[in-house]
Structure 1
Amino acid sequence: MFDRKFPTRRSFMRGTAALGLSAMAASHSAGGAFAATPNRGGTLRVAKGDGATTDTLDPATYTGSFMVATSYGVHGFLTGIRPDGDIEPQLAESWEASPDARTWRFTLRRGVTFHDGKPLTPEDVVATIQYHTMEGSKSAVKTLLEDIEKVEADNDVVEFTLSTGNADFPFTFTDYHMPILPSVDGGVDWKSGNGCGPYKLIKLEPGISAKFVRNHDDWDQNRGWFEEVELLSVADPNARTSALVSGEVHATDKLDLKTAGRMGQKPGLTVHSVEGSQHYVFAMSTNTAPFDDPNVRLALKYAIDRQELVDKILFGYGAVGNDHPIGRSQRFFNTDLEQTVYDPERAKFHLKKAGLDSVSVGLTAADAGFPGSVDAATLYQASAAKCGVEIDVTRAANDGYWSDVWMKKPFSAAWWAGRPVEDAMLTTVYASGAAWNDTFWENERFNELLVSARSELDEPKRRDMYFEMQTILNGDGGAVIPVFANFVFATDSKVQTGEQLSAHFNMDGERWMERWSFA
């Protein structure tokens, strides 16, 4: 039996938790009101601070924001996140769940076509899910989808049967790895870039640039305001800033925070600072000595001066972190957890518990890992030296960092934009066996709680479970998460954004391509 209601995100969460009811059907909006009427036309040029020669159009492998923006611009998704954090229907015009949240039925929007004219069908959705979940898949979202026991097409409806209830299931499909791809020959076509989003991909040169033109046949004519979009990969922050100041590009991300304040004072430029769940990480491989000892991990957590990084790396554009990835604005942020602070004596105490008087480790960083990560690693090195911890900092090349360093070196810098719900973040990065478990961490109690919390429909009980998971990560996990960083980017006066900018990812949730226009 299925019930129907039309809640906001907050009432949706309360309703699913208290009643086991998860039904959604709402009118689509363009992603936020504009300060003025958006205008059609023109070519938008954007410089992004990442992008690698190893990038491909395979959505299972997307990492940096260059490909995230490409994914949201070219493809269609079953559901989306509005700037205010509410979930919104996209290719799925409505959905409903059984009272135990184990069975979900998504009704597809009619009249949607891919860029080559092929109609969107439920079979495309089924094939896309199977692509991410098939045996041998290395998809970053395979763990998120592992509870799906069965997915079936029924006319214009796709029905999912889960092994356990999942109150957050519709949010799963907002992930940038989850565009709906055209089915072909028993699989999916990702190589052509054929999507059903607001823009068509004309050319992609990995690590260099991409070019898009407006999809005039888009099902939603209230988005995709530019006629063309050019996306440039520019790793050097000074080059990105110069390109914006000179008018070569209209927007850029990952500003040099040392100069962001002065940049915002320049006529014709606006610096945007959006608080979200983005966090910077020094990831330890817990399957490699000495990081396989939880006391060594704790020593390293007490050996970093978090406030110093907020002041000297973020220049105030952020807040201290507590070695778990849940942001202060999220529903189940653990308000009871003691803040880990810089404490040389406690660091030495844990080294002694590990049977060590001192320890020496290597730390690899590059600005591709997160902006300012090399400077942050050097500050870490200095503070750790007073704790009996010697850190040897290695600067890596930006190009190829995510393929050659991240999850390859035992201690490295990384960043995460966060996820709209706690389960998605924790499952993607910290669940045992997750493709992107960059600390290679396994904790039996954590994994039990993760599964239980996903299906728990009593909100207070669910809250307690997420609180405990954050406590476990803080004390045992392999991620040193010293800071949460605001999303800081800049636009020129020609660009008109919505009145509210999304905190889901950088640059308006990376959906700027569909939401922004020229003034």
Structure 2
Amino acid sequence: MTKVSKGVIALAALAASALAITGCAGGGGSSATSSSAAWDGKQIASAVIALPAQTTSFNPTESASATDRVAAALMSSALYLQKEDGTVEPGLADGEAVFNDDLTEATVKLREATFSDGSPITANDVVATIQYEQSVPESVIASTTGKIKTVEAVDDGTVKFTFVSPYPSFEGVAGLLSIYPAAELADPDAYFKAPTVTSGQYTIKSGWASNKLELDANPEFWGGAPAIEHVTFQILADGNSALSQLQSGQVDFAGDLAPSYISQVEDTPGLRVEVSQVFGFFDLRLRNDHAPFDDANVRKAVNAAIDRTAIVSGIWGEYNAPQSGFWPAGMEGNDPDKSVEQDLDGAKELLAGTACESGCTVDMIYSDQDFAFSQQLALMVQEQLGKIGITLNLQNLDGATLIDRLFAGDFDLAPGAMTSGTNTPDQLLNLALNGNGPLSAEFTGYNSDEMNALIETAITNTAEKRTEAVEQIETLFSEDQSLVTIAPWVRGSATKLPEGVFSLVGASAIMATVK
């Protein structure tokens, strides 16, 4: 397993969207065609789950690979766990957090639970986990742990958090913070090579080898026996191979399939197709701090020239819808009346007086290892921007090189995506728009004092103050256009497993428990 500290980029490639797409209010749901039998509630002996993203690390401070996040969801428990509708419910916490009046402190009671080795999960384990994660430079979860000023064990079953500023979304964001044994974190490098002592539904039977990870049900898990006793994760980057193995019975669940593959099997007997959405979007990152995209009018011209309807139709078909504002449908702040239509005349007017008035050439980097449809998207964007005189020099890179280029700011334009684990604004804002955030505003180099102040207001308040701030963020986003949104994030899967057994939800996954 390759250890890649800059695996954070995949976080951008991983919370809920439009009713018309999901059929579920508030987003976070899924639309499905079901031809497999209903689950009888009894434990299934084994299943193979295929995912395309390469694994990078078991360490949550380093990895944001989609595959790693799904595996982590099965191996580890957090204080609060994400539900399918984007809300959270207590995990290791015994009920809701108790906040002080100004939301700068929260006290969490722990349920009685044990790690897979039978040792109790205590407040000291929570403290050790948070303190370790805060100690890691360039942690991919710094936007969450950075908000925590102190964490202390009041007693074995009680943890008190003090925050840097009011943190009303703490429960919603705490799902990113899986809890690990304090004893094992004495040597985190050794532990995270293969964390055999876990707090979740599964333990490791065999670590990553030949692109496979084998997990066994954790008999000590506080939440009961999982729906599948033995799970094997298989990395299959090629969608055709994933579908072929699904149909031949070698694989039971093929996740994160390109949309074109979903349509091929949606009417296949014995298979169930599910398309779920996360609280986030697919976008085009524009490097704001060098020409030509240091000019907001050039960025706005790109936004106007993109034919979102054609892109969505070509890539996702009926499983998605265009998006042009910052907030995805289903999240507070979304403007359902915001135009998604291409406006070539408006784009050309915006280019008047800019470095691209008479045409310009920019580099667009992408990787098929990032998204299966990256090349298709790149070619469509190349054709559309060519209509306003912006020539794209396309560069198809391997995944590791793409990550290095993004972190170095060595690009003009790149496709990407951004997400929030739950239906709260914190993570989406800190990763995509906060110039002082861990991703430098999704690698765009955008850094606006006005935007940063609005972000702080949005994530430290509730009710009317938050509503007003998220609306102002939408307005300022359109004025600055630091990046260009295209469509909400969707995740497509095909499976032979009965409905309700295992699903990709948000940036993570949910495994049912035996009834």
TM-score by length of 1: 0.84
Q: Are the counterparts in 1 of residues 39 and 499 from structure 2 also a CA contact under 8 Å?
A: no
Residues 152-188 of structure 1: CA deviation (Å, up to 9, x unaligned)? 111111111123222211111112xx21122247575
Cross-structure match for 2:466 = 462
Cross-structure match for 2:7 = none
Cross-structure match for 1:349 = 349
Distance 2:134 2:186 in 1: 14
Report deviation, 1:130.
1.7
SS at match of 1:239: helix
SS at match of 1:510: strand
Cross-structure match for 2:147 = 147
Distance 1:212 1:163, change over 3 A: same
Report deviation, 1:238.
0.8
Give yes or no for the alignment of 1:327 onto 2:324: no
Distance 1:341 1:499 in 2: 39
Report deviation, 1:259.
4.1
Equivalent position to 2:478, from 466, 474, 478: 474
Q: Are the counterparts in 1 of residues 105 and 162 from structure 2 also a CA contact under 8 Å?
A: yes
Cross-structure match for 2:76 = 75
Distance 1:407 1:298, change over 3 A: farther
The letter of the residue matching 1:200 is T
Equivalent position to 1:101, from 103, 116, 119: 103
Give yes or no for the alignment of 1:443 onto 2:448: yes
The letter of the residue matching 2:179 is I
Report deviation, 1:431.
1.6
Q: Are the counterparts in 2 of residues 85 and 502 from structure 1 also a CA contact under 8 Å?
A: no
Aligned length: 467
Q: Are the counterparts in 1 of residues 333 and 474 from structure 2 also a CA contact under 8 Å?
A: no
Equivalent position to 1:271, from 241, 252, 273: 273
Gaps of at least 5 residues in structure 1 are 1-33
Equivalent position to 1:432, from 435, 439, 443: 435
Cross-structure match for 2:391 = 390
Distance 2:402 2:509 in 1: 19
Cross-structure match for 1:197 = 200
Distance 1:500 1:490 in 2: 11
Residues 178-232 of structure 1: CA deviation (Å, up to 9, x unaligned)? 21122247575433413211100123337812111111121111x4122211101
Equivalent position to 2:292, from 285, 290, 293: 290
The letter of the residue matching 1:303 is A
Distance 1:61 1:78, change over 3 A: same
The letter of the residue matching 1:159 is K
Distance 1:487 1:125, change over 3 A: same
Distance 2:235 2:503 in 1: 23
Q: Equivalent pairs: percent with the same residue?
A: 22
Q: Are the counterparts in 1 of residues 362 and 391 from structure 2 also a CA contact under 8 Å?
A: yes
* Counterpart mapping for 1:106-117 below 5 A: 106-110=108-112, 112-117=113-118
Distance 1:220 1:402 in 2: 40
Cross-structure match for 1:510 = 509
Residues 394-435 of structure 1: CA deviation (Å, up to 9, x unaligned)? 2223x5366445444422222334431112211233222322
Distance 1:414 1:481 in 2: 9
SS at match of 1:295: helix
Residues 472-517 of structure 1: CA deviation (Å, up to 9, x unaligned)? 223314322211243221111xx12329967523xxx422xx3278
Equivalent position to 2:491, from 462, 487, 501: 487
The letter of the residue matching 1:253 is G
| Residue range with higher mean Cα deviation, 114-123 or 208-217 | 114-123
Distance 2:207 2:288 in 1: 37
Report deviation, 1:371.
2.9
Distance 1:394 1:238 in 2: 24
Distance 1:187 1:159 in 2: 25
Q: Are the counterparts in 2 of residues 274 and 503 from structure 1 also a CA contact under 8 Å?
A: yes
RMSD: 2.5
Distance 1:205 1:469 in 2: 42
